[in-house]
């Protein structure tokens, strides 16, 4: 889950300077991610849960020094990269038709981005849709099945375990999902779409050495 830290949150509308300690995740440098948490009904926070904020050390009247949120750091969309990791993902259901197969996953998603010169990664669970057109018909699986590993081979690339999100591939494609009981789900087709299909739920801050390498 990564380490947590308390930062001081400025409260608005108090008439005087007031702060509340709130849980957050250090992202590197002065950046912190505010954890999802309830805001007391009687308080108005300067920044919302889920915000990335810049903190500075502040000296308080009791002599203590604490990192204190001073500004929200906005997302830089052009730096955002996402991958789904088959390991730690779950195949929730498989829908097969004569012309396509749809795999619905609860996927473990890596999201890497840069804000204020700091690159950081967040891991989350998110519904994912994988659609393969013109496939060979795979075996039918019942219920939720954990995925231990997997790969996706397209005409232009071979992705092992980590798949770019979103992804569209035309031409020959082959998806192999390795299951913990030794079975493999093997689907070949002509075209493939991999896309997010729901809201991401934060799990952890990712260590720097998990930044994905380029596919083969």
| Boundary of a domain, candidates 72, 94, 125 | 72
Q: Do residues 35 and 113 both lie within one domain?
A: no
pLDDT in 10s for each residue of the chain, 216 residues: 568 999 999 999 988 889 999 999 999 999 999 999 999 999 999 999 999 999 999 998 888 999 999 999 999 999 999 999 999 999 998 888 788 899 999 999 999 999 999 999 999 999 999 999 987 766 556 678 999 999 999 998 999 999 999 999 999 999 999 988 888 888 989 899 999 999 999 999 999 888 876 544
CA separation for the pair 125, 147 (Å, rounded):
14
Residue 11 lies in a domain: yes
Count of other CB atoms within 10 angstroms of residue 198? 13
Q: Do residues 93 and 52 both lie within one domain?
A: no
Residue 60 lies in a domain: yes
Q: Which of 77, 23, 45, 78 is nearest to 202 (CA)?
A: 23
pLDDT, residue 142, reads 65
| Structural domain harbouring 111 | 77-210
Q: Which of 175, 199, 204 is nearest to 187 (CA)?
A: 175
pLDDT, residue 95, reads 86
Who's near 155: CB < 8 A, 6+ residues apart? Answer: 169, 170, 171, 172, 173
| Boundary of a domain, candidates 72, 105, 126 | 72
pLDDT, residue 98, reads 80
- Structural domains of the chain, count: 2
Angle at 30 between CA 211 and CA 204, to 5 degrees: 40
Q: Do residues 45 and 102 both lie within one domain?
A: no
pLDDT, residue 150, reads 95
The pTM assigned to this predicted structure is: 0.88
pLDDT, residue 138, reads 61
pLDDT, residue 8, reads 96
Count of other CB atoms within 10 angstroms of residue 147? 22
| Token couple for 168 | 């569209």
Q: Do residues 94 and 120 both lie within one domain?
A: yes
The CA-based dihedral angle spanning residues 168, 174, 179, 184, taken in that order and rounded to the nearest 10 degrees = 160
């Amino acid at each position: 889950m990564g380490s947590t830290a308390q930062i001081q949150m400025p409260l608005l509308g108090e008439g005087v300077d007031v702060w509340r300690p709130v849980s957050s995740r250090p992202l590197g440098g002065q950046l912190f991610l505010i954890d999802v948490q309830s805001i007391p009904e009687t308080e108005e926070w300067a920044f919302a849960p889920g915000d990335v904020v810049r903190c500075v050390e502040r000296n308080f009247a009791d002599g203590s020094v604490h990192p204190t949120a001073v500004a929200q750091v906005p997302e830089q969309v052009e730096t955002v990269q996402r991958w789904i990791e088959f390991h730690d993902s779950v195949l929730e259901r498989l829908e097969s038709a004569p012309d396509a197969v749809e795999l619905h996953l609860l996927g473990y998603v890596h999201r890497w981005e840069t804000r204020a010169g700091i690159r950081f990664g967040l891991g989350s669970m998110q519904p994912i849709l994988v659609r393969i057109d013109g496939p060979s018909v795979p075996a039918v699986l019942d219920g939720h099945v954990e995925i231990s590993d997997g790969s996706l081979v397209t005409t232009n690339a071979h992705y092992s375990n980590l798949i770019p999100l979103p992804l569209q591939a035309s031409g020959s494609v082959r998806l192999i999902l390795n299951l913990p009981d030794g079975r493999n789900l093997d689907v070949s087709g002509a075209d493939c779409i991999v896309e997010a299909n729901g809201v991401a739920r934060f799990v952890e801050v990712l260590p720097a050495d998990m930044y994905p390498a380029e596919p083969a």
